Amino acid sequence: MSNSFEILYDEYEGDFDLEFTLNSGQTSHPPFKKLDDSYYELVEINDELVVIKLTQDGLNAPLIVEYFTQKQDISNLVKERIFYMFDLNYDMKFYNFIKNSDELSDILEFNRGLRIIRAHNPFECIISSICSANNSIKRWTKTIEKIREGYGKSVQVGEETFYMFPTPEEFLKISEKSLKDLGAGYRSSYMLNTANLILKHDDFNNEILNMSYEDAFKEVLKLEGVGPKVADCILLYGFNMNKAYPVDVWINRITTYLYFNSKKVSNKRIMSFAHDKFGVYAGYVQLYLFNYARMSGLMDKLK
């Protein structure tokens, strides 16, 4: 059965544009499935699989939420999940911070309505992030979708089937050869070894969650296939740590363009610069700069 409700502009902080956000290339998970003018995603709420359908007619328009479930009305829980997923309670001081910066104020306008998308859970985020390393968004998306369709739980609504990312137990049933066949390449063994380690390490997620950003970074870096960039993606999207500033080529290019007069600067220096300069807003600044660098055409010219 299905239920529905709306989330109105004055219920959340700041601006929100669903479509813009979902298409911004964030590697927390692949884009939601689009059918007609709505976006669908399968989520797990209190051990129950729920298909969520989201519709929004542009920036700050009412977000129409419909969900499909076996049990009764769980609108409160679904709403809570959506607020978490798109960080709808986020800190408005970020807007003021970025608005008052000479280098960043144009970028705020360009990205109006863009939000961080939080991953469904740390495990999915960690494995997906490892798969994103040295990979294109397109190929990464294809691989993750095939992993879901081949090995995750599924729910059917009407004609459509929706898939979860596999749990650690389900994931570890995949052979290395199968993962390679799905396009994960040499990352396959990293993904499997890390999944195995997390499954054996009892309370891994809670331990990370209770650490400072700095300690968590060092800990996640120990996982196979996780370097500085992937570590920061995991902490930002999977563990809600907003100090993370994942530095990929795009972030390196635009940060050096804006703050280092386009000189060559190592990723390591970019990271520590961002921590000093942006503090707790680093994660959002990264998202806004990344999207701007990809979408504005500016970086293509500079290349």
Q: Considering beta carbons, is residue 133 or 147 the nearer one to DNA? A: 133
> Considering the complex, what minimum distance in angstroms separates the CB of residue 106 from DNA?
22
Measured from the CB atom, is 14 or 183 closer to DNA? 183
Cα torsion 168, 172, 178, 180: sign:
positive
**What does the CA dihedral 296, 299, 300, 303 come to, rounded to 10 degrees?**
170
Q: Which is nearer to DNA, 7 or 287 (CB)?
A: 287
Task: Reply yes or no on whether 33 is catalytic.
Answer: no
- Applying CB under 7 A, does 226 fall inside the site for DNA? yes
**Out of 82, 108, 125, 230, the residue judged to bind DNA by CB under 7 A:** 230
C-alpha 33/C-alpha 40 separation (Å) is 5
Which residue lies nearer to DNA by CB, 160 or 214? 214
Q: Is 100 in the site for DNA (CB under 7 A)?
A: no
From residue 199, give the alpha-carbon distance in Å to each of 34, 167, 172, 202. 33, 10, 9, 7
**Is 50 or 230 the residue whose CB approaches DNA more closely?**
230
Residue 244 in contact with DNA, rule: CB under 7 A: no
- Minimum separation from the CB atom of position 103 to DNA (A): 22
Query: Which residue in 102, 138, 276, 301 binds DNA (CB under 7 A)?
Result: 138
Q: Kindly state the smallest distance separating residue 295's Cβ from DNA, in Å.
A: 14
Site string for DNA, 155-194 (x = CB under 7 A): -------------------------x--x-xx---x----
Residue listed under structure tokens 């209190």 = 46
C-alpha to C-alpha distance for 54 and 66, rounded to whole angstroms:
7
Total residues interacting with DNA, rule: CB under 7 A:
26
Strand, helix or coil at 42? strand
The residue from 136, 200, 203, 301 that contacts DNA (CB under 7 A) is 136
Least distance from DNA to the Cβ atom of residue 248, Å: 3
User: Which residue of the set 53, 79, 229, 243 is catalytic?
Assistant: 229
For 87: left if phi > 0, alpha if psi spans -120 to 50, otherwise beta; the answer is left
**248 part of the interface to DNA, by CB under 7 A:** yes
Alpha helices for 74-121 (secondary structure H): 75-85, 93-99, 105-110
Which residues, in sequence order, are CB contacts of 249 under 8 Å at separation 6+? none
Sign of CA dihedral 271, 272, 273, 274: positive
Closer CB to DNA, residue 108 or residue 130?
130
Task: Identify the residue among 31, 113, 150, 228 touching DNA (CB under 7 A).
Answer: 228
Q: Does 249 bind DNA (CB under 7 A)?
A: yes
Stretch that binds DNA, among 14-22, 107-115, 227-235, 274-282 (CB under 7 A): 227-235
DSSP string spanning 122-180? HHHHHHHHHHHTT--HHHHHHHHHHHHHHHS-EEEETTEEEEPPPPHHHHTTS-HHHHH
Closest to 151 in 3D by CA, of 138, 163, 139, 159: 163
Round to whole Å and give the CA distance between 9 and 116: 17
Catalytic residues: 229
**Residues near DNA (CB under 7 A):** 133-136, 138-139, 180, 183, 185-186, 190, 223-231, 248-250, 266, 268-269
